[in-house]
A and B are shown apart, each in its own frame.
Chain A
Amino acid sequence: MTALAAFSCVAIACALLSLVVVTRRWAFIGEGIGHSGFGGAGTAWILMCLVPALDQPWLPQVMVVTFSLATALGMGALSRRNAVTGDVSIGIFLVATVAWGFLGQRYYFVQRHADPAGFLTLFFGQPETISNLYVACSAAILLAVVTAMLALRKEILAYCLDPLLAEVSGVRAGAIHYLLITLIAIATIIGMQVVGTLLVTALLVLPGATAQLLSRKLSVVSAISVATGLFGAIGGSSIHAQWRAIPVGPAFVLLMFFAFCGALGASRLRKR
């Protein structure tokens, strides 16, 4: 039940942010942030070999969080300054951090003749080992997202509509940009524990994309988005509880994908 509560918090937070991700066409950003965590883990594995005192189980986690946040802010800064387009900046950081992560893994393997602990779980998630700290973090990110969405509703909507027009309307578009990027980065980092770096983008894309197929009213779209996220979280956990061989992460993502396909079919039927 604790794990389910944590998954639900992550699902709701990601579903609310999903509206921003889909509207601003930031689908690729979750991918970039998620994969940059692998670069952080690679750094940790190299440090663990070079400095034995740092060979601690918490180091990869700290480095994953640090790298993911730094990458998110770096991508945000590059795209905001228009130095390169948003998708190019994400692509650049994504490949560089993944390459660095593999380098770290290879270095660790050569030094220790074994893969680093948690190498595969980084890709596929580790929902079975949910700690109390993780539950608290999930609740905290949900609280942060809901608070930001309620308190800055107009500003966030104005930014999503058009950052330039928002700025001219007196909105501090730069602050909103970095706030959203940071929230997405934290939600991605927490979501990675459930579904892994490979699938974490799904939490940020599928709920919003599904909801936008079914309605054009903000309150309804938000509700459908949250419902889709919860459907994935609760359904995925239930399937895993029933059939242990099916992992939570892929079940979570596939259920949301089926919901998206259903919404697509319904919207096609409605248009006829």
Chain B
Amino acid sequence: MDSLLDIRDVSLSYRDKLVLDGVTLSVARGGTLGMIGPNGAGKTSLLKIILGIVTPTRGTVLIDGLSPRQATRRGWVGYLPQNPTIATNLPIDTRQLIELGMAGRVGMLHSPSADDGRFIDDLIREVDLSEQLHTPIGELSGGQLQRALIVRALVSRPKLLLLDEPTIGIDPRGQQEFMRLLADLKSRLDLTIVFVSHDLRAVTGISDRIACVSKSIHFHDVPQHMPGELVHRMFACDLDALGIEGPRAAVTPLCNDPNCDGHHHSSLAPAAVGKGSLSFESDDATKADA
């Protein structure tokens, strides 16, 4: 397998607290890894290690053979953070926000090249932000700002795109549109994606492999092989918070295959979540949905 991202035996401790323990993962070039896990499982810390912002206590990370810091400096990594805390009072417009994604690579006193400019224009059209090009960032809606930040993450033509909870706070329709957009961008730009989310529907819809992280890796395989029991263990807190009682008993994987025994098709995208019940739909159905 030609892997773009190689994580080998990575551990991380903050003071005495072990955050990650011996994590080993790889993501194939052009692949999409969905990363799930409960709150505080170390997912965002792992992303920060991949970005080179946090140095692991032990282990190595290579992005196409380079260290995270080298890869980041070359623009190989795009990143959409969880709840970006950008200063929307900065007096710049959408176009300037996007162009700042190249700030570290263009060089002092230089503007993006004509070729970069055309690429940015294409991306802006693709995410349907042409009309907001000169809108101050403080006047963009949440969805528009998120699309602008996605373009910002892509302007350096990265090989690897890291998305941290990108669908959080977006309504279901917006989520579907976002997932469709992501799939389009992925195929067009030949991206490798690491997608961290609590949204099982989103993760299973776009990922060709899934990693369950809770300090260490509990599962790293194709979504179809993921046991439902593991999902419930990973998301016990979230299910409790949603008021879902006895989730294990409520798991009824839906499958178009009349011979399905409920084990081979457990991609586990929640189709409907309501008090006291939880159902899942098949992988194929989820992908079609997305």
Instruction: Tell whether, in the assembled complex, residue A152 and residue B105 are in contact, meaning their CB atoms are under 8 Å apart.
Output: no
Instruction: Tell whether, in the assembled complex, residue B81 and residue A165 are in contact, meaning their CB atoms are under 8 Å apart.
Output: yes
Instruction: Tell whether, in the assembled complex, residue A169 and residue B104 are in contact, meaning their CB atoms are under 8 Å apart.
Output: yes
A91–chain B nearest beta-carbon distance, Å: 21
B87 interface neighbour in A154, A162, A217, Cβ under 8 Å: A162
Instruction: Tell whether, in the assembled complex, residue B108 and residue A151 are in contact, meaning their CB atoms are under 8 Å apart.
Output: yes
A170 interface neighbour in B87, B96, B103, Cβ under 8 Å: B103
Instruction: Tell whether, in the assembled complex, residue A218 and residue B91 are in contact, meaning their CB atoms are under 8 Å apart.
Output: yes
Instruction: Tell whether, in the assembled complex, residue A217 and residue B104 are in contact, meaning their CB atoms are under 8 Å apart.
Output: no
> Which residues of the other chain, A, contact B104 by a CB distance below 8 angstroms?
155, 158, 166, 169-172
Question: Which residues in window 152-187 of A have CB below 8 A to B?
Answer: 152, 154-155, 157-158, 160-162, 164-172
Q: How large is the interface on B (under 10, 10 to 19, 20 to 34, 35 or more residues)?
A: 35 or more
Instruction: Tell whether, in the assembled complex, residue B92 and residue A154 are in contact, meaning their CB atoms are under 8 Å apart.
Output: no
B71–chain A nearest beta-carbon distance, Å: 10
Instruction: Tell whether, in the assembled complex, residue A23 and residue B79 are in contact, meaning their CB atoms are under 8 Å apart.
Output: no
Given A24-B87, A162-B87, decide whether A157 and B108 contact each other with a Cβ distance below 8 A: no
Instruction: Tell whether, in the assembled complex, residue B51 and residue A154 are in contact, meaning their CB atoms are under 8 Å apart.
Output: no
> Which residues of the other chain, B, contact A221 by a CB distance below 8 angstroms?
91
Residue B174, interface by CB 8 Å: no
Residue B26, interface by CB 8 Å: no
**Complex formed: what's the CA distance from A91 to B96 in Å?**
34
| Residue interface mask A1-26, B partner, CB < 8 A = 1 | 00000000000000000010011100
Count the A residues whose beta carbon is within 8 Å of the partner chain — how many?
31
Instruction: Tell whether, in the assembled complex, residue B91 and residue A217 are in contact, meaning their CB atoms are under 8 Å apart.
Output: yes
**Complex formed: what's the CA distance from A115 to B104 in Å?**
52
Q: List 11 A-B contacts (CB under 8 A).
A: A23-B87, A155-B104, A158-B103, A161-B92, A165-B79, A165-B86, A165-B149, A167-B72, A168-B53, A172-B104, A216-B91
Q: Using a CB–CB distance below 8 Å, which chain A residues touch chain B?
A: 19, 22-24, 150-152, 154-155, 157-158, 160-162, 164-172, 211-212, 215-218, 220-221
**Complex formed: what's the CA distance from A218 to B86 in Å?**
16
Q: Which 3 A-B pairs have the closest CB atoms?
A: A170-B104, A216-B136, A158-B103
Among A150, A168, A217, A221, find the residue whose CB has the most chain B CB atoms closer than 10 A: A168
**Complex formed: what's the CA distance from A94 to B238 in Å?**
43
Instruction: Tell whether, in the assembled complex, residue A165 and residue B152 are in contact, meaning their CB atoms are under 8 Å apart.
Output: yes
A221–chain B nearest beta-carbon distance, Å: 4
> Which residues of the other chain, B, contact A158 by a CB distance below 8 angstroms?
100, 103-104
> Which residues of the other chain, A, contact B92 by a CB distance below 8 angstroms?
157, 161, 218
Residue B84, interface by CB 8 Å: yes
B79 interface neighbour in A155, A168, A218, Cβ under 8 Å: A168
Residue B187, interface by CB 8 Å: no
Instruction: Tell whether, in the assembled complex, residue A171 and residue B79 are in contact, meaning their CB atoms are under 8 Å apart.
Output: no
Question: Which residues in window 33-53 of B have CB below 8 A to A?
Answer: 51, 53
Instruction: Tell whether, in the assembled complex, residue B90 and residue A160 are in contact, meaning their CB atoms are under 8 Å apart.
Output: yes
> Which residues of the other chain, B, contact A168 by a CB distance below 8 angstroms?
51, 53, 72, 77-79
A81–chain B nearest beta-carbon distance, Å: 13
Residue B156, interface by CB 8 Å: yes
Residue B141, interface by CB 8 Å: no
| Residue interface mask B139-161, A partner, CB < 8 A = 1 | 10000000001001000100000
> Which residues of the other chain, B, contact A218 by a CB distance below 8 angstroms?
91-92, 96
B67–chain A nearest beta-carbon distance, Å: 14
Among A24, A170, A172, find the residue whose CB has the most chain B CB atoms closer than 10 A: A170
A157 interface neighbour in B51, B89, B96, B149, Cβ under 8 Å: B96
Instruction: Tell whether, in the assembled complex, residue B86 and residue A161 are in contact, meaning their CB atoms are under 8 Å apart.
Output: yes
B106–chain A nearest beta-carbon distance, Å: 7
Residue in B closest to A166 when the chains form the complex, CB atoms: B103
> Which residues of the other chain, A, contact B103 by a CB distance below 8 angstroms?
154-155, 157-158, 166, 169-171
> Which residues of the other chain, B, contact A217 by a CB distance below 8 angstroms?
91, 93, 136
Instruction: Tell whether, in the assembled complex, residue A161 and residue B87 are in contact, meaning their CB atoms are under 8 Å apart.
Output: yes
Instruction: Tell whether, in the assembled complex, residue A169 and residue B51 are in contact, meaning their CB atoms are under 8 Å apart.
Output: no
Residue in A closest to B109 when the chains form the complex, CB atoms: A151
**Complex formed: what's the CA distance from A154 to B77 in Å?**
19
B100 interface neighbour in A19, A23, A167, A169, Cβ under 8 Å: A169
Among B86, B87, B96, B136, find the residue whose CB has the most chain A CB atoms closer than 10 A: B87
Residue in A closest to B107 when the chains form the complex, CB atoms: A154
> Which residues of the other chain, A, contact B72 by a CB distance below 8 angstroms?
167-168, 170
Given A154-B100, A155-B104, A217-B136, decide whether A212 and B91 contact each other with a Cβ distance below 8 A: yes
Instruction: Tell whether, in the assembled complex, residue B87 and residue A169 are in contact, meaning their CB atoms are under 8 Å apart.
Output: no
